[in-house]
Amino acid sequence: MSQWIKDSVFYHIYPLGFCGCPEYNDGNVEYRLDKLIKWIPHLKEMGINALYLGPVFQSKKHGYDTSDYYTIDCRLGDNESFKRICQKLHENGIRVVLDGVFNHVGRDFWAFKDVQQYGRSSQYCGWFQNLNFDGRSPYNDNFWYEGWSGHYDLVKLNLYNRDVVDHLMGAIGKWIDEFGIDGLRLDAADCIEPNFFKELRNFCKSKNPNFWLMGEIIHGDYNRWANPEMMDSVTNYECYKGIYSSHNDKNYFEIAHSLQRQFSNGGIYQNLCLYNFVDNHDVNRIGSTLRNLDHVNNVYTILFTMPGVPSIYYGSEWAIEGKRTRESDVMLRPCLELESVMGKSKTLVPQIGKLSALRRHFSALCDGKYENIVIRNEQLVFKRYNNENTMAVALNLSDCDYTIDFGINGGCVLTDVLGDGTQYRVENGRTRINIPPNGARVMILHNGEFDFGKFTESLKGEVTEPVTAPAPMPAPEQTTPQTPNTENEQVPKTIKYGKYRHYKGKEYAVLALAKHSETGEKMVVYKQLYDNGEIWVRPASMFTEMVEYNGRKVPRFEYIDND
């Protein structure tokens, strides 16, 4: 795991909503995402050093219905404007992570439209999961295909198809080389073939060893997806639920159990740096979820002091509200103008800025071990520690001050670095501290050497270092086609074993796929199913090409069945 991730504080934006884009793409280029540049000072005020942008590539509607992986959605700008935005973010020490939507595409995706136009003759029939011509789709296409989770506006890709994978890797290579992106969030990761993630990891790390891959996972064992062969991290939905639920029910046992289970010595995820959040583009805003907004500071204190990397969803630093409905997620993804939200009375910006500063200055909060010290319904004390420092975090859900006694070893003084520097003596390994109502203390354990005044002064002089994008490393040799013009350019489709019919009527069987020993060109070995059964070899590009016959374009060889 790269150190930059452990040290990161993320800000998550859903661009199409953030920019107030029209619901449907009208094809007009508008440089709406350029407004992100004037948000940079606000991001830096909160200590943000990594930006996760939801879908930015060309789509018809909401961004997860990709129509072109190689082009920025024209509602946001164009490729050149996005390069400038990425450059500006990097100059200000903010890394860029994009949404990688590889499980499915939209119905406007160029290869799917080719299937709609040419039917069985399309070279791209093999690009889509379970596509067949024995039925009709819910959209009345003359074929059936698999939609993601029953949503037929999202056409599931066939990630076993070599040309699909090559096309996706080509797009990712472009994003890395031209935009200098630092990582990917993988949408619907639990639906994707594991071998795809293995190849993705090898490809990305070959270009940038510090490239970060994080998957959207809601249920299950996170180790299945976050491991040395696949992704670096996943979304921590278990603690997302535990954080808000503990506060709503005044039951810190819930989140304490999850943190202990995940991150304590022997915890199941103690070696992972999970992606932590309290809301996002798919779930209700924390401002709408909490029954008592007086608890919101404690929510963020846990988010920033628990193991893993914290992420703030745009607008939630002002505790804006938003709930999803059965019909729409629009309320979760509003258009925000900095001038209008800056004046909101409920602001967490100073709290978040201070918590970010604590993570920068005390390494135990970024990569230290975790240990519960005291768990009560309305109070929680836990410890983060490594070889450099030991931190104690104490939280109180009560409406009254609370004095709590607990044991802690390794020093004789605890200084509250989140608050005003109040000190508490530790004698014989025990201390008593006072926690304010609906409040928290984050304390460093020391032997009297820590100077709170110098620490406070040091925060004023911090300078954000620019992010220098690494020079791209040579990628593994592979085909990385750009989006083709389907009228003039032909891309080889996946070749199945089985029976084919030549456009002149005779039948053949594909026996094997091979590689030319001198040129590396893909070859097809096939047998004629008539006369003496002679065996032939032909370049794959010729085997799959379209030919002119009786005034129309038809495949040279059409797949029949697998008998």
In a domain, 352, yes or no: no
Q: Please give the pLDDT value at position 538.
A: 87
378 and 429, same domain (yes or no): yes
Contact between 510 and 496 under an 8 Å Cβ cutoff? The reply is yes
In a domain, 528, yes or no: yes
In a domain, 42, yes or no: no
In a domain, 281, yes or no: no
- What sign results for the dihedral spanned by CA atoms 312, 314, 316, 317? positive
376 and 438, same domain (yes or no): yes
CATH number where 423 lies: 2.60.40.1180
CA distances from 316 to 90, 93, 419 (A): 24, 22, 22
Q: Is 149 left (phi over 0), alpha (psi -120 to 50) or beta?
A: left
* H, E, C per residue of 179-229: HCCCEEEECCHHHCCHHHHHHHHHHHHHHCCCCEEEECCCCCCHHHCECCC
What H or E segment, with its residue span, contains residue 430? Answer: strand 430-435
CATH number where 532 lies: 2.30.30.320
513 and 451, same domain (yes or no): no
454 and 529, same domain (yes or no): no
In a domain, 398, yes or no: yes
In a domain, 420, yes or no: yes
Q: Please give the pLDDT value at position 475.
A: 44
For 426, other C-beta atoms within 10 Å of its C-beta total 22
Q: Please give the pLDDT value at position 518.
A: 65
In a domain, 350, yes or no: no
What H or E segment, with its residue span, contains residue 360? Answer: helix 349-361
- What sign results for the dihedral spanned by CA atoms 385, 245, 332, 334? negative
Contact between 549 and 503 under an 8 Å Cβ cutoff? The reply is yes
For residue 390, give its domain range: 365-459
CATH number where 114 lies: 3.90.400.10
Q: Whose structure tokens read 């083709």?
A: 484
Phi then psi dihedrals of residue 401, to 5 deg? -55, 150
Q: Please give the pLDDT value at position 555.
A: 86
Domain boundary among 432, 459, 486: 459
Tokens at residue 324, please?
């999803």
431 and 384, same domain (yes or no): yes
Domain boundary among 113, 133, 158: 158
Domain boundary among 158, 176, 195: 158
369 and 455, same domain (yes or no): yes
Phi then psi dihedrals of residue 197, to 5 deg? -65, -35
Query: Which residue in 169, 168, 109, 119 sits closest to 546, CA to CA?
Result: 119
373 and 440, same domain (yes or no): yes
Q: Please give the pLDDT value at position 412.
A: 97
Over its length of 563 residues, how does the chain's per-residue pLDDT go in tens digits? Answer: 689 999 999 999 999 999 999 999 999 999 999 999 999 999 999 999 999 999 999 999 999 999 999 999 999 999 999 999 999 999 999 999 999 999 999 999 999 999 999 999 999 999 999 999 999 999 999 999 999 999 999 999 999 999 999 999 999 999 999 999 999 999 999 999 999 999 999 999 999 999 999 999 999 999 999 999 999 999 999 999 999 999 999 999 999 999 999 999 999 999 999 999 999 999 999 999 999 999 999 999 999 999 999 999 999 999 999 999 988 999 999 999 999 998 787 789 999 999 999 999 999 999 999 999 999 999 999 999 999 999 999 999 999 999 999 999 999 999 999 999 999 999 999 999 999 999 999 999 999 999 999 999 988 877 778 887 665 555 444 444 444 444 433 334 568 778 888 888 888 888 888 877 766 678 888 888 887 788 888 888 888 888 777 667 788 888 886 54
With H, G, I as helix, E, B as strand and everything else as coil, classify residue 300: helix
Q: Whose structure tokens read 């240990």?
A: 371
420 and 503, same domain (yes or no): no
Query: Which residue in 173, 200, 180, 179 sits closest to 189, CA to CA?
Result: 200
Q: Please give the pLDDT value at position 532.
A: 76
Q: Using CA atoms, how far apart are residues 430 and 447, in angstroms rounded to an integer? A: 14
Please tell me the total count of domains within the chain. Answer: 3
Q: Using CA atoms, how far apart are residues 363 and 457, in angstroms rounded to an integer? A: 19
In a domain, 441, yes or no: yes
Q: Please give the pLDDT value at position 494.
A: 67
Cα 504 to chain centroid, rounded: 49
